Structure 1
Amino acid sequence: MFNLDQYDLISRVADRIGSLFQQRRLRAFSTLFVVGLGLSLLVTACNPGTNSSTVASSPNSAAPTSQNRALRVGYQKSSTVLNLLKNQGTLEEKLQPEGVRVEWAEFAAGPQMLEALNVGSIDFAYTGETPPVFAQAADAPLVYVAYEPVGGSAEAILVREDSPIQTVEDLRGKTVALNRGSNVHYLLVRALEEAGLEYSDITTAYLPPGDARPAFEQGSVDAWVIWDPFQAAAETSANARILVDGKDLVANHGYFLSTQNYVDQNPDLIEEILEELRTTANWAEDNPSEVASFLSDELGIDIPSLELAETRRGYGVKPLTDEIVKGQQQIADTFYNLELIPKQISVADVVWKG
């Protein structure tokens, strides 16, 4: 298991990469994308539960036979449905008779996971809305295969309980912490837009949750844009109040992703993992207390905070509709207009038609 110092190092380097990304446009970012993989593999190597063979094959390798196929899944501990599926072991039971081995690789965050997907170290991943936009803009060969309707109430802009900030308009000239390239990045953009503010009207502090919370509590930043369950934990134990959540601003979808090469060669495995994920998602929706208890052990967050988070999130593994694709395209266009990504992209071009 990687320690906090390693995680902080990875996060700070990732933030530096993000800064260079804005300055050097697409070609430089593509190079840094591969550099970032090394950071992801550091996380993977430090995780005793990760099979080292997950870094072996190329995305252009020959089509596997039925007896040597693998399904290599990237996940985060906070990716509830995938983490539950890993814990339950039902996917392995389903695929073992078919001669398919399942391998799991843990990552610190979505961007690192998509770097691994880009170079063929994993075959399947789950992230929030924003990391796939950045990855596609860097020419990663990702494919959207399904989505999860997490919901806008599961992310928010927080301020301290005693803060004089009462409206989003009051953020003008203030410093706002967020994890760069995460789903809440778009929430911040939309909230500012709705309040008549420009993105340049605030100062952003790009911090991962582990750094953002102490900065928030100590008053080093004026507001924090964060997602559940970290949002709920801040509400219950860090004297945070919600300035605005994403309910009426953003959809806040999660996305299940693969690569074009993998889905072309293994459409049956994609269908089978989605089927198991649907079963797991249905169970999670019906058993919020059990989910909170499981995540408490995994994340080190108290059960009451996790139970609060469970009351405002959605579950499901659903096919990509035109409406969902249009919403993701809107995020991509917004980030391009803000020069957060270096070129326009077409989300519809990377949606699995299976």
Structure 2
Amino acid sequence: MSLDTPLISEARRQVEICNACRYCEGYCAVFPAMFKERSFAAADITQLANLCHNCRGCYYACQYTEPHEFALNLPAALAEVRAESWERFAWPAAPARLFQRSGVALAAAFVVGIALLFWLASALRPASGEGFYAYLSHGAMVAIFTPAFLLPLAAMGVGLRRYWHEVGGARVTWAHLKDAGLSAARMKNLAGGQDQGCNFEAEDKFTNARRHAHQATMWGFLMCFASTSSGTLLHYVLGLEAPYAFFSLPKLLGVPGGILLSIGALALAHLKLKADKSLGAASVWGGEMAFILLLAATGITGLALYAATGTALVPALLAIHLGTVLAFFLTVPYSKMAHGFYRFAALLRDAQIKRC
């Protein structure tokens, strides 16, 4: 795919007008990065697009939106370039086009994952085992989820390498990681110019709702991942097998993590329904919503499974939860989950440019 696509050309037109106006300098990291340049190559537009958090504050402050002849809609222009870049960097490319365009594909992955795990639960049911292992052996879980985790991660790595090469990324230092990490952890670019929030769901009104929902989702996901990782260490390093008591590291991380993930993802879905579709990448709206709901389903089914421990509901809930998690992992490089990786890479590149 040629870098100078119609979407990049339109984004360049709008960026050049913004670069001349400079009214929105304090809104987010995009504008200081933009104002450092006098001309914009396709790679520069790609970097700005992935640095953008689609908070939309610049749109509502802009004097050149429609009906002005300039017809600026920078959030939508950068969102379309961002989605296009994920397709271009994705490996293999075909699934990226499928998942970017259709939330139905995510739902299909969800159903197939459940059906597969139902079959495995009956075909590979162990002769003995405690807790969840009474329905699906530990060996079977490892055989299913190890490649389902590692292969998408490898595919994501290929995409990030392509992105880094295109935007001219250099060697990463601890200082770059610190700058990018602090920005990501605080969701700094969703705070608005005066820490008053952004305009994503409330038009010209500032609100931190999206920032807080993002933080809940991110930290909830990381806690759930840490819960699974701690369980793996307990199993293989200390020889302590599941099920674990409530006052154990896997549960103390997993239960509050699942609650945060569920609440945060549902809040993001609610805000997305309130927001103006025309200010984002309208062509991939369905896929984005499907990803958010898949995140929420991962948290909700995990909590439901824990609550049902010791009941007859466990086999069905286990299959549903594992199917949800499996679908999530398999679609990571092609769903909006990719935005977390690319946005962090964009923050790293921005930190490098600032320190030059």
In terms of fraction of residues, the more strand-rich structure is 1
- TM > 0.5: no
How high is the TM-score relative to the length of structure 1?
0.29
Quick one: higher RCO (CA 8 Å, sep 6+), 1 or 2? 2
In terms of fraction of residues, the more helix-rich structure is 2
How high is the TM-score relative to the length of structure 2?
0.29
Larger Rg computed on CA atoms: 2
